[in-house]
Amino acid sequence: MSGNRRFKLLLDEMMPRRERFPHLNNFHDLKHIVHDMKKPGIKDSQIIMMAKRNGRILLTKNVKHFIGSCGDKKVDLIGVGDLVGFEEIDRKVSAYLRKRKTRKMTGIFQNIVQSSRRQ
């Protein structure tokens, strides 16, 4: 990984366990809100504050509940479409983080969508 940039990510409870993302889990510091942080069912605002307090990028499928508040609180957000498979999430989020220049949180939003398949 160029520049040895390790990012900290927080997976919200709609996401699977971090072990489903082997590349991300190997190169970055992933924590799951339920399985690692032991905080099932907490409010979205509490998830955002936890991400901010711990300097973690929030990874979620529930973009509509987070996008406004994350921007306001300067918490970076990676949104994942419902049809994107685990392997594709692992690959695309890893590629995004490799290209990312800074760890500074600014409230930016990155959308991960399913690749179109040509036949």
Over residues 29-53, the pLDDT tens digits come to 999 999 999 999 999 999 999 999 9
Contacts of range 72-77, beta carbons closer than 8 Å, 24 or more positions apart: 72/107, 73/48, 73/49, 73/107, 74/105, 74/106, 74/107, 75/48, 75/51, 75/105, 75/107, 76/105, 76/106, 76/107, 76/108, 76/109, 76/110, 77/107, 77/108, 77/109, 77/110
What is the reported pLDDT for 102?
85
Read off the pLDDT of each residue in 100-112 and give the average, rounded to a whole number. 92
Give residue limits of the domains in the chain: 2-112
CATH superfamily of 2-112: Response regulator (3.40.50.2300)
The model's pTM: 0.91
Please enumerate in sequence order all residues whose Cβ is within 8 A of that of 3, keeping only pairs 6 or more positions apart, or say none: none
What is the reported pLDDT for 119?
43
